[in-house]
Structure 1
């Protein structure tokens, strides 16, 4: 009875079994993202949660990151004016020419963990939170490195998940969006998110396409001829966790903000953190992208 929240943070193929066990016991559940191994499992788990009437949460913590929330608010407050377009170019860190031994399962699309579902999924969730959902899209995906190598042993392995993802389309409100994710790391740009508007521009940069880590810098420029300058995230965005002041470069910083939102939801009955129903919406977008790409 004293268990308030069950956290499922294991490899994706085991999510369904463990999440269902917690739901059947009537416990609130936080599952790592992605929630299920594909859309069907995600819809099943969301349906069980709804039938049981329990609170659920999914680890799409990029939307909890103070810099991402700050960007969302800048846009809502009219910093860029009307949003005309947005462009993302990013690297997945993994899914490059070499793989870590404990990440071998991410090479097989049957396991549900890929460049599309993990870094792209986290990042597109934050992009749509700030700018709106896709109303129309097209996509192309490819596996340009079907053979990769164990970084320890040098042994070759087959990879059948995409290491190139290009999605373009139109968002709610009419803005044109373009997102290109590449496997591995680039010798040039590894995370660049630009938002172009009638009155100004925003730029978010970082060292990889894993926006859920939250280790990014925000820049902005307004007015004719202005050059982007850093926009420090106001302290109010981290005020709920004063013990973490000055620790913004740590990966746990963003996760802590996600837990803070979950705690408020469980304590106050609010709905700040994304739940299983939201996970279904996001999985449906990824499924739509796969179908558009014919992958």
Structure 2
């Protein structure tokens, strides 16, 4: 059965255009049947660009479209609650970008609405589905590094520097729920959890190092209420140690580096450039063990990508892997793709991190 998809927030050049659209077009289980943007002109342009039969400048029309089985919500987080609520009320499956809501209360309400509606949901935490991450997970499970002692991940968020533009100014207001912690750090941690399991506890230091940011294209300033430096430490349920640090902006050095160190070996994932957002990266995997004196590249077998084309760009690869597995879940009645219940657990983890930073006290985390 072909799954009909409608994307809310599908403007040409936006995130959905460079990730969801190519992902869907690469998979035979799906058909992109409708798009919605905030303006008629941009909706018509996107429909023409993506060869989509139905275009709307009001998301209500997309949600009501009889050919849309799955509504994808790819807009700013403050709009998630209303749009997802409407889609669930219409009995549609929903794929929401992460974060699910602008805080845990909204996430809890949406998770409850989804359960009441009895429909399948997907949360866009695709980092754990990247082929290189799944390969790393299996290497660790197969004993490549021996017993895992600890892991260190350092990355850059690109945004959250002292200078921004009007299009990204909303990222600096904590009320909108889109922060260095909730976006860059949590996307990375999702992949870390996929490879090494869940954390038993966490300590944190969230630092807001400047109180105002310049809006360069307007020549104005805005207040900053989010942390631009995120530092987490903790221990996994296995006993291994975690150190994760994300900076706002970027570094002249490495903008993404993740090491996994064990009794018998090491695995290292890196990426070039200024982008440190794991879920969008074309990661290089290297390893060394035993008598090895240096790291060597580890190639991924082609089967790691099936059924997604290997040449799909990195920004679309993880999203496509989520879609592929969700399609299989629907066919086989399985639940391998995280939905809104998983998103709610991650929102509660964010709360624990913020509490740890505010109180200076390590937080014990409940089992997943």
* Greater CA drift, 149-158 or 8-17: 149-158
Q: How far apart are the structure 2 equivalents of 1:6 and 1:23?
A: 9
Residue deviations 1:185-224 (CA, integer Å, cap 9, x gap): 0011211110001111110112433111132111111113
Q: TM-score, normalising length from structure 2?
A: 0.76
Shift of 1:138: 0.8
Q: How does 1:122-201 map to 2 (within 5 A)?
A: 122-201=187-266
Are residues 1:256 and 2:296 paired? no
Classify the secondary structure of the residue corresponding to 2:184.
helix
Is the contact made by 2:165 and 2:218 (CA closer than 8 Å) also made in structure 1? Answer: no
Classify the secondary structure of the residue corresponding to 1:294.
helix
* Greater CA drift, 47-56 or 267-276: 267-276
Q: Which residue of 2 aligns with 1:111?
A: 176
Shift of 1:84: 0.4
Q: Which residue of 1 aligns with 2:76?
A: 11
Q: Which residue of 2 aligns with 1:228?
A: 295
Shift of 1:269: 2.0
Higher Rg of the two aligned structures: 2
Shift of 1:277: 0.9
Give the superposed CA RMSD: 1.5
Which stretches in structure 1 are left out of the alignment for 5+ residues?
none
Is the contact made by 1:120 and 1:209 (CA closer than 8 Å) also made in structure 2? Answer: no
Q: How far apart are the structure 1 equivalents of 2:206 and 2:322?
A: 31
* Greater CA drift, 176-185 or 252-261: 252-261
Q: How far apart are the structure 2 equivalents of 1:14 and 1:247?
A: 29
Shift of 1:14: 0.7
Q: Which residue of 1 aligns with 2:9?
A: none
Q: Which has the higher contact order (CA 8 A, sep 6+)?
A: 1
Q: TM-score, normalising length from structure 1?
A: 0.95
Is the contact made by 2:71 and 2:94 (CA closer than 8 Å) also made in structure 1? Answer: yes
Q: How far apart are the structure 2 equivalents of 1:143 and 1:245?
A: 40
Task: Figure out how many residues of one structure are paired with residues of the other and give that number.
Answer: 292
Is the contact made by 1:7 and 1:31 (CA closer than 8 Å) also made in structure 2? Answer: yes
Are residues 1:20 and 2:85 paired? yes
Shift of 1:184: 0.2
Is the contact made by 1:30 and 1:57 (CA closer than 8 Å) also made in structure 2? Answer: yes
Classify the secondary structure of the residue corresponding to 1:180.
strand
Shift of 1:226: 2.6
Q: Which residue of 2 aligns with 1:93?
A: 158
Q: Which residue of 1 aligns with 2:140?
A: 75
Shift of 1:225: 4.5
Q: Which residue of 2 aligns with 1:280?
A: 344
Q: How far apart are the structure 1 equivalents of 2:76 and 2:103?
A: 13
